[in-house]
Every structure is written in C-alpha cells, then in structure tokens.
Amino acid sequence: MRKILAGLSLTVLALSLAACGGDAVAADSVYANVGAKVGISMPTKESARWIADGNAMVAQFKAMGYQAELQYANNDKALQNQQVDKMIGNGDQLLLIAAVDGGAMNDVLAKAASKKIPVIAYDRLLTGTKNVDYQATFDNTRVGALQGQFIIDRLNLTKKDDKTYNVELFAGSATDINAKYFYDGAKPLLMPYIRSGKIKIRSGETAFKKVATNLYDAKVAQARMARILNDDYKTERVDAVLSPYDGMTIGIIKALKAAGYGTADKPLPITTGQDSETPSVKSIIADEQTQSIFKDTRELAKVAVEQANAILTGSKPMTNAEVKNGVKDVPTYYLYPVQITKNNYKTLLVDSGYVTEDDLKV
Ligand code: GAL
C-alpha cells in the first residue's frame, strides 16, 4: 500500500510538473511503468503450492494496477524456456521465474537482459548466469535443518543407550539448488549419529547424487523406497525417512504401506516433508506423515511483488541476504520457514487462514 501511495504521489508530482510546463520527463521513467505487464513463469501445476504462489502474485499485481501473465511449464525445461521467450516477445517488462531447471535458462535470460527486462528468481535460484537481478525465497538450509533435527528429536538420538535406528535419506531434484540446501541443512546434523553407528543407513546411500529425486517426482521416490525396502529391509525395520518435500513423502509412504507398514505391529516410520500441502496435512492428521515445513506462499508472493514493484518504480527492492549463483551474488530476501506437526497445524495453517478446516476434512 505504501508503495502504491508513493507511486500515486509521484504521478501527481509528474502531472503537476507537466502542468507548470516544467521538466516532467524526469519523473516519466517512474510513471511509464504504471500498468506495466509482468511475466510469471512457474514450474508445474502438479504441486498445489505453485498454483497458490502464481495466483497470489497475479492477485497482488492486479491490486497494484499491473497486468500479469502467468504460465506453468509442466516440469519441462524446454517448454519453460519457450514460455519465457514468448513473454519477452509479448513485451512483458519484468519476469519472475521459478525454474524447472535453474541452470538451464541462460540463453533466454541473456535475451531478457539484452532488452533490459529485469528478472527475479522466485523461490528457486537461477544459476550460472549474471542475468538475474533479485531473488525472493526462504532460508532453505533451515528447512533441511528443521527436518534433520526433527528426526533426531523424535528418535531421541541424544539419549545415551545402545539402541540403534534405521534411517533412509532422500533429497530433492539436482536441477534445483534448493535441493542441495535442504540436504546440506539436514545431513550434517545426522552425520555424527551415522558415524557413531546410532543411525544405520541400510541402503548405504548417502551421497546427494545417490539420494536425489529427479524433479521431486513422487513416483521416483516411491520406486526408490520400494527398492530399498526390498533389498535392505527383509529382516530390519525402517525407523525414519528424511524426505525434503511432501509430494515425495506421499510416494515414500505408499511404498512403505505396500511393504506392510502402517499397522499396529509395524507402524510407519517417522517422515518429514515440506510445503504443508493439503493431502500431506491430512496425512499428518491421520498419523501417517509426521512432519512438514510451512513456507507461507502468500508472504513469498508479497515479497516478490514488492521487489518487482520497487524495480519498476525505480526504488530499492527489499533484500536481507546475498546468495552466490556461480557467477554473481544475487541480492535475496529470505523468509523464515517453520515446522508443522499434528500439534501446531491448527494454529499455523488454519488460524492464519492458509487452509480451512473444511479443506482438511477427510
Ligand atoms: C523447491 C521448493 C520447495 C518444494 C520443492 C518441490 O524448490 O523450495 O518448497 O516446493 O521445490 O516443488
């Protein structure tokens, strides 16, 4: 609102300068962007969060007098490049991009830069390019740290006894630098227990490359969990699974149930997740998934829209960090992720209006 008012008073100033026959053109660069069109490129509709992100941004841009063009890329990097190219052709004056593959957009980003179209990386960093101006995201290392610490707490690993626990590790997509941040947030916390033998990784798979899940695909996660259960858990039982994202956790739980978990005799292991998507919150309420991370997409959209508005009106976008993308330090605004369990989902998700009780009815 403050920004709109600032925009309005500049408009008034420009008009009154024009009326006085003064040099109104100086204010023109600001005035010119009122009603500008922005392009919003999201990775997929498969996950409800990106739909919420996209809709929230469009609504906020429209409320501020901008036009917005929203496209989803069906998790296809070539399609996303085409869509962004088209946005440039359509005359969009700023781009907000959550990339399918953060390192695969350099050509189209170079084209945007050649036309002086600013780019904001939305949630996922655009890597290996100088042609990204700002980023709005969450502290993704903290996401992983919350997930890792949750497993430590729930398994009570700090207790000095002889018990050992079987844990399996999953990471997100290698096409998204966030996936590395999540894993690098969780793994160092678990490592001392792995080294001491308190945690056993029966699959032996711990390297990011081994545990990564292409495009965060639930089916890929399900297949890997099924394979591990079949190969390494004939006589053992898995006690916890580190998963970075709700969609993957759904796949992992499917594999576990197919292997007989989820009964009084063979309870499901502790599982983590991220995004607090409705099916997963329902799963938490039903005592299947154990934890998720809540990243309020309304807030993320607000930050990105504020950054865009600042760029378009010639003021300084909000930032509180800088993140290396391999070529430059990208000025970034980090939001704070929080943890969701059965104990706090009502306060954080329902009372805040993120979802309704009705959404969560089975
Ligand atoms: C990440 C994002 C997560 C999750 C994941 C899978 O980039 O930060 O919140 O949505 O992608 O979509």
Domains of the chain: total: 2
Regarding pTM above 0.95, the answer is no
pLDDT at 32: 53
249: containing domain? 141-294
Ligand 1 mutation target, pool 41, 123, 303, most atoms within 8 A of CB:
123
The verdict on 177 and 312 lying in the same domain is no
Distance 250 CA to ligand 1 centre (A): 15
The verdict on 165 and 89 lying in the same domain is no
Q: Is 47 in the pocket of ligand 1 (CB under 6 A)?
A: yes
The verdict on 154 and 264 lying in the same domain is yes
Ligand 1 mutation target, pool 45, 175, 216, most atoms within 8 A of CB:
216
Q: Is 181 in the pocket of ligand 1 (CB under 6 A)?
A: no
Alpha-carbon distance 165 to 298, whole Å? 38
Alpha-carbon distance 287 to 87, whole Å? 44
Region 303-331: mean pLDDT is 97
16 within domain boundaries = yes
163 within domain boundaries = yes
Long-range contacts of 274-277 (CB under 8 A, 24+ apart): 274/143, 274/147, 274/182, 274/244, 274/245, 274/246, 274/337, 275/47, 275/48, 275/49, 275/245, 275/246, 275/247, 276/246, 276/340, 276/345, 276/349, 276/354, 277/47, 277/48, 277/49, 277/246, 277/247
Q: What is the mean pLDDT of the chain?
A: 92
pLDDT at 27: 38
The verdict on 232 and 150 lying in the same domain is yes
pLDDT at 62: 94
The verdict on 69 and 89 lying in the same domain is yes
361 within domain boundaries = no
On the question of pLDDT at 129 being above 50, the answer is yes
User: pLDDT, tens digit, for every residue of 219-266?
Assistant: 999 999 999 999 999 999 999 999 999 999 999 999 999 999 999 999
Q: Is 261 in the pocket of ligand 1 (CB under 6 A)?
A: no
The verdict on 217 and 324 lying in the same domain is no
CATH number assigned to the domain comprising residue 197? 3.40.50.2300
pLDDT at 12: 32
Dump the DSSP string for 321-344.
EEEE-SSSEEEEEEE--EEE-TTT
pLDDT at 33: 74
349 within domain boundaries = no
On the question of pLDDT at 185 being above 50, the answer is yes
Q: Is 275 in the pocket of ligand 1 (CB under 6 A)?
A: yes
Region 277-293: mean pLDDT is 97
352 within domain boundaries = no
Distance 50 CA to ligand 1 centre (A): 9
